[in-house]
Chain A
Amino acid sequence: MTETRGPKTSLGEEDEAELFARAAEDPAAREQLAERYSPLARYLARRLAGRGEPVEDLVQVAHVGLLSAIDRFDPSREVKFSTFATTTIVGELKHHFRDTGWAVRVPRRLQEMGLKLSRLVPELSHELGRSPTIKEIAKRADLSEEEVLEAMDSQQAYTAVSLDAPFDEGSSPAETLGSEDETLGLMDAWASVAPAIRQLPARERRILYLRFFRGQSQTEIAEELGISQMHVSRLLARTLERLRVNLG
């Protein structure tokens, strides 16, 4: 297939859809897409770098994730590719960390405190009818405020700079995306969704954030929030419905 090399022009969305359609059979199309989104892969690799491992290794892993995303992307689903690719690439990087042993284990004491909190905080919230203060939680949990904050910090399984908990054993990046076909349609309008998200109650916002930006499964979210997976599923569905209504 011949290509005219002219001055660089930005690809329109239609051109990109065409590239994706051809990517399966045409290595040149796949290559173009990979080049186009290479900055995204590099950005994510740098974001998750830390602890002394060479960034270039991570950049390579990120590019593997990018190619995987290009191959698996279904443009008919109305998800922005950048969002889809981000989840895939981050998943790939986390697998890499787990496999190469860069993940740092959380000390047992903090794990236990974290579990205690994930049970107590929803209980207390329910009793008070609002999110409790750190002081109230410390009192109920019979811990110091420092310990509560420490446990909160260690509970954060995925952060932008460090990885303190093992990635979910069973899930692949494809699974973390889940099968909520309708909800993925929202991702295209994410920029306009952000203000609506701020209107949501804190817990619902957190679930959305964990699901779509951290790529956590519903089970992982359930564990972190101390509620059942069914409950997460219902809350998620309800929240997305509310957002859809808000967006008109």
Chain B
Amino acid sequence: MSNTLFPYVLLIAPTWSLFLCVVAALPNKTRLNSADIVTWGALPSLAIVFLPDMKLQLSTILLSSSLVLDSAGRVFLVLIAPLWLATAILARPRLRTDQSGSLAVLMLLTMTGLIGIALAGDAMLMYASTTVAGYALYGMLVYQQNRAAHGAGAVLVVLFVISDLLIFELLIILAQTWLGADFRELRFTFLMSDSQGFLVGLLILGFGVKIGILGFHYWLPVVLRSSAVEFRPALVAYIFGAGLLAAYRILSLGQFDAPTAAVWLNWLALATFFYAWLMGLLQADRNAVIGYAVVAIGAIWLAILGIFLDETSLWGPMSGKLAIAVIQSGFAIAALLLFRGVSVQSSPFSYRVAWLGLGILSAWLVTIAPMAIVTGISDSRVISLYWGIGAVAFLSGYSLFGRKMLTDDNEAENEHRETARAVRAQLPTKEPVIMVTASLIIAATVAALFNVTNWSLNEWRAVAIVSTIPMIVAAAWASLLRRFNWTPPVPPGDILSVIVALLGKTHSAVDRLTNISVSRWEIKAIPVLDDIWKTRLRSSMDRAEDVLRRWPTAILLAVFTGLIIAWAA
């Protein structure tokens, strides 16, 4: 194949999954088995990983986009493709029962979007891919017919809309000089901008939604609590692809020096660690606890980003380690999430012990993933990372060892039980989950071995102190707290959910108050306000429009509008 045509192989990965998407959408007579179609979808992207660096200019696509295979994209393909394979294998039973083929279409669209993110050579294609993957992922998660999943989906989609708007504004500001969206041009604008702080803020908030940045993190625990087990690897792939890689593509790590932004990121990460730690402790659901562990992991990446923004010279020697840490972290989180997916209660004791061992190993691998960065930098900049690693260790351990926390004396907890039952009822059989989990752990271990080959014994000891001891101590402490039962569980999710619930209760109280008729002291303000909000605002707008539709109004409006424009001009 000639050098001109060779880059076209990059097109194979996204077009293959799009083609399969069309096949999956075809009417019943011609549709192949959805489960097989989805399983094969990730194959080309796995193969592409082994190709050399290349770029394919797609001058007619969007605003002259391009596909690029570079080291960063390759890292994420190495992560995304196996996670997709895991999702597809685990989702086979569900796909077989899906008569309409809609789930297969949603899965393949998500996959296409994720591949697009990894291969995007410009911001426009990346943004489009992020959007396609995000909304299709939402469809996948909501596809389950349970109330909690739909509630979680609503949270997710609202945050996605906010995220997309922030990213849109960021890209518009960066692209105004060039009118295009090539990464190099956008990075140059970023470097030259007078308002770098504002741009970093938009970037961190926009992409931070995807990794669960504090304030926009709320979707992670609720989605993990209610999502089907088999979709969790896909969720991890999305968090890493649409959150981390996308942010990395726009920031010029190694060139972009922003010490002020670095300080802010550091503080944000620290705040997130403590918040995640506190909220994780209060959770009544182990999946939600892991959700907060993932929030803390996201904050660790923010802190690492801050380090490279503070000291650009660190990027060169550390970028390789960072790449492997990303892969290790992604596989290990997916394994940890899958660990909670099957119940081994009725299995023999040795079987249960082995399974718990896998869980501990995955928690360990999640915890030590950033250690290569910590030990590689070894100065005061990484102090906050220790807190993050401690929080992740604590939360991972808590999700494994925490006592069974549910009681039946709380309405919200009953709702939680219902969700748990709904999720459990759709679990795949345990053998595939165990095999896939073990495979992911092996992959994460291999990545870890790459990173730790030059570690000394002291560093290993540091890892042990940082991760293992807090894990055990925290689990024991949390169990003790639960026994005395003085920390209230917060199902389902977060302080924010409590606020929302309180608002809901306030609204109900207002409703009740509006129905109270006390002869001597009627509460007039509340019903009036409620009425204004619910009916009068709408009806007054309707009435105003009715007036607009009359003959004389139309004439007057035409004349007055003209006069107002004339006056204003």
Q: Real complex partners, A and B?
A: no
B residues near A, CB below 8 A?
Answer: none
